[in-house]
Amino acid sequence: MSDNATGSAAAERGLPPAEPGGVASFDEADRGPIRRMQEFLHRFPTSIPFIVLLIGVVIFSFAAPGKFLAPFNFSLILQQVTIIAILGVAQTLVILTAGIDLSVGVIMILASVVMGRTAVVYGVPVEIAFPLGLLAGLACGFVNGIIVTKLRLPPFIVTLGTWSIFGALNVWYSRSETIRQADVQETAPFLQWTGTIIKPYDFFSKTLGLDLTFLKGWVLNYGSVVMLIVAAVIWYVLNKTAFGRHVYASGDDPDAARLAGINTDRTLIGVYALAGFICAIAAWVLIGRIGGVSPQAGQTANLDSITAVVIGGTSLFGGRGSIVGTLVGALIVGVFRNGLALSGLELLWQDFAVGVLIIVAVTIDQWIRKISS
């Protein structure tokens, strides 16, 4: 017997006997705190935006004492991010499928023009003009989905092209004319309903007889209520329905999803169509916010919606993210812009801060993804 064989036999004799019915096991090295943090963030990606939001609130409460924490200021932040949050919900659906929609902003503007111009200029009853605007948003999203699935083109390229197409349709139908607030109020006041002011303290005290002192100074509008309803409905769809599970599966691994029997093309078309419909709801809120109808409103909505989604923890690579994270991401953008403004910094530094947040969010997302690779 060779020396190697003798050594091996001796080593085997030195091993402890196996337990009856036992299986082979391998002890992993103790995981360090960084690894444990990585695993925690992978399981709970929404925790990151909550932490960032808390840090921002603490910083700006000291940077702008007496102003930032005022109830009216928080009300203002919530009203400012309402439209971005709704568009962010639409964008979240698309990004969960590992796509991106650069046309959400122009779909919103086009739908608002269809609603406003059809009702005010052409005299169509608002009961018809409003659904037509919703249908316009749905149709735009459906077109995006059909092109992405049938032509097998990257969503970035498709929606970049439709962004130009829908923008041209917006200019054609609106004739580059703005409809004044007074005209909308006279002809179709329903379109301005989302801008109606709500004072929570008065509501609870007069309706329910509750004296909730901490609500004094808060001023909201029905647009914020619409935002919460849209977010709640889409959260339910993503977490409690088969369609929602198909969305996550199609974004995480489309090949595996197809092998599991999921019609990924139908899922993608449904996602883009639903995103377009949500953009049309944002158009209704936009009219309530500005009072009139402008073909130039919401020009930065595309970038802002993507920012809210990315900062909110949704992975640009698909398959991971949440609606709650997107809402918190929109709040983070609003808090940082508002806090920096109250601190006396110029607009350019607000944009600088948001840009840094985007880069940091994507970097963290890449780092978290390594755990599954």
What distances in angstroms separate CA 307 from CA 55, 99, 277, 313, 336, one per listed residue?
Answer: 18, 15, 20, 10, 13
**C-alpha span between 228 and 220 (Å, rounded):** 12
For residue 215, CA distances in Å to 65, 87, 199, 202, 373 come to 19, 27, 8, 9, 47
CB 335, CB 269: distance < 8 Å: no
Gyration radius of the chain over CA positions = 26
What is the predicted pLDDT for the residue at 67?
85
Residue pair 339/63 in contact by the 8 Å Cβ criterion: yes
Percent of the chain with pLDDT over 90: 54
Q: What is the DSSP string of 303-315?
A: HHHHHHHHHTT--
Structure token pair of residue 125: 């009853």
Region of residue 19 (phi > 0: left; psi between -120 and 50: alpha; otherwise: beta): beta
Report CA 276 to chain centroid distance, whole Å: 14
Q: Is the pLDDT of residue 317 over 70?
A: yes
Average pLDDT, integer, range 173-194: 93
**More confidently predicted of 323 and 304:** 323
Which residue has better confidence, 34 or 304? 304
Place of tokens 């419909």: 277
pLDDT tens-digit series, residues 162-179? 999 999 999 999 998 999
Model confidence band, residue 52 (pLDDT cutoffs 50, 70, 90): confident
Question: How far are the Cα atoms of 111, 199, 201, 203 from residue 209, in angstroms, in the given order?
Answer: 40, 14, 10, 9
Q: Where are the domains positioned within the chain?
A: 85-297+314-320
State the average pLDDT for the chain.
Answer: 86
Cα→Cα distances 172→110, 231, 294, Å: 10, 32, 13
Q: What pLDDT score does 352 carry?
A: 86
3-state secondary structure of 197: strand
Q: Please give the pLDDT value at position 27.
A: 46
d(CA 127, CA 118): 11
Q: What is the pLDDT of residues 237-290, one digit of tens each?
A: 999 999 999 999 999 999 999 999 999 999 999 999 999 999 999 999 999 999
Determine the average pLDDT of the residues in 18-43.
61
**Mean per-residue pLDDT, 58-62:** 89
Handedness of CA 84, 87, 92, 94 (dihedral sign): negative
Confidence (pLDDT) at 12: 47
Q: What's the predicted TM-score (pTM) here? A: 0.85
* Per-residue confidence band for 372, with pLDDT thresholds at 50, 70 and 90: low
Per-residue pLDDT reduced to its tens digit, 66-81: 788 888 888 889 988 9
User: Which range, 191-195, 204-208, 301-305, 310-314, has the best average confidence (pLDDT)?
Assistant: 191-195
Cβ atoms 72, 214 nearer than 8 A: no
pLDDT tens figures, 84-108: 999 999 999 999 999 999 999 999 9
Do residues 357 and 307 lie in contact, with contact meaning Cβ atoms separated by under 8 Å?
A: yes
Q: Is the pLDDT of residue 39 over 80?
A: no
Q: Which two tokens stand for residue 105?
A: 């902003």
Q: How confident is the model at residue 371 (pLDDT cuts 50, 70, 90)?
A: low
Mean pLDDT over residues 232-238, rounded?
96
